[in-house]
A = this chain, B = another copy of it.
């Protein structure tokens, strides 16, 4: 029975008093809802699959068949929709994944490289469609009596594993009244709250539609990346001193404040947890390689603008001169060049061997206190303005990458200063919570001490998993995790399913120690595993207050949270 039918019959059976609401909730595997939450093929489009593989990553997609990653990247860059088709994929195909709408392989299982990487990126994937014979040399694939030439359009359904010729229309996710009904029962049963990870007011609105009870993780750096802000962020990074940095931050402040006002308003009266800046600064700058290219080209353009060596641009193989440059003065080009050269110098300064373990999170906040101060001020001012307009808001300020309570004390001092000032100005008491991510191993061992400084903990299980396994997620999923899964060394991908035997033990330790020091402590989890049913069950059992996951996983999490409560007594394994 498919998911929609399953939901409908459950509701009907309750209405006919054949089963209880609890039985209805337990009848449905939360993962089944996945089918209802991604774009799917229009069932009215009469089409017969030409091949079936494993449903390796959900969602439906159409695009031109392309047989290697280099070409996929090229065709994708031209604005075409691409399906990457390979016998099996390997780490060196990674750029093809970025370019593709979906991935199809003729070999490999649900834990093959293609499956693991596609799921990690949230792209549809059909793996191990053995009926398809891929012939890269002849640039074609044979499936039954059909020959698919490179460039032919195909459609994948990652929920069923089916492959179609041509483009099949897709329907947006189907959120029926029955499903809405069922999930309301789930919410009444569950003890865990379900929040969403969302970084923009738009994403927050969508999360609301999925039934999110607040935002458990708003990554402020996503706001920094929008094209109207990035230049200001770059000015901040290139600043030669605190003064210059503060001037750039002063320009960012009203932008961030406006973002938060919108976000708080959309989610009112539910909590919104804002994480202070986390990624290393070089993530906001172009790569060294790109900058070297750009500088080389700018030098050629400068010569052209000078009119000295008009023909040189083509000789030196630079891309065609942008027309805009012809109207620019030498001075303009020189300014651009100077800025790029400074960027390059900065990129080289900021280079890190292992950025995951580098100068990021609260370490940045302590090295450049003015960055965190700006963000905290924006959050508090937004909260004050909302309150002023009668909008009930619950902002929560969250510090990332903490390893010791001294770091929290540092940031807390800024929070207290700014709160004091603002309360004096407005004559109104500010409502907010202060908390910390628990995403380093040391934060778990030091939970007793951290808990005295905060009102909430939020487990960042993505980073925590990386630290516990000494696995970099990107490198692991791309290089050895598929092989580890296939050979049975690891049963699951620990970045999808919470590793109870390792990561879980540290969570357990931190919850115990944190609550012992601070019984009022609110504790949640905001890693990707927060949307996975078995992981949610673990979170319920160790006594967390909430889980937070990506918007489309919220319904699954709501049902799983109810099931976790209903299965409380049962042994886990």
Contacts and interface: CB of A to CB of B under 8 A. Distances in A.
Given A353-B475, A501-B446, A502-B403, A470 B469 contact: no
A108 to B, nearest CB: 11
A79 interface: no
A268 interface: no
Given A467-B468, A467-B470, A489-B406, A358 B441 contact: no
Interface in A502-520: 502, 505-506
Interface stretch (A154-162, A374-382, A480-488): A480-488
B445 A502 contact: yes
Nearest to A410: B489
Contact of A353 (B441, B467, B474): B474
Interface stretch (A98-106, A122-130, A359-367): A359-367
A15 B25 CA distance: 83
Interface string A461-485: 0010011111110111001100110
A401 B479 CA distance: 16
A354 interface: yes
A96 to B, nearest CB: 14
Contact of A475 (B352, B410, B469, B505): B352
A348 B289 CA distance: 13
Given A92-B349, A446-B502, A357 B440 contact: no
Nearest to A471: B357
* Main secondary structure on A side of the interface with B: helix
A355 interface: yes
A366 B487 contact: yes
A446 B479 CA distance: 24
Nearest to A474: B353
A286 interface: no
A196 B404 CA distance: 32
What band does the interface of chain A fall in when counting residues whose beta carbon is under 8 Å from B?
Answer: 35 or more
A356 interface: yes
B487 A468 contact: no
A544 to B, nearest CB: 19
A70 interface: no
A91 interface: yes
A407 interface: yes
A442 interface: yes
A336 interface: no
Given A404-B489, A440-B470, 16 more contacts: A352-B475, A352-B479, A353-B355, A357-B470, A357-B471, A358-B479, A366-B483, A366-B484, A403-B470, A407-B489, A441-B441, A441-B470, A441-B502, A445-B506, A463-B470, A467-B468
19 contacts: A91-B349, A92-B349, A353-B472, A354-B475, A356-B472, A357-B466, A359-B475, A359-B480, A363-B480, A363-B484, A367-B480, A403-B469, A403-B470, A442-B470, A442-B501, A445-B468, A445-B502, A445-B505, A463-B470
8 closest residue pairs by CB, A with B:
A354-B472, A357-B472, A442-B502, A358-B475, A354-B354, A354-B356, A440-B470, A406-B489
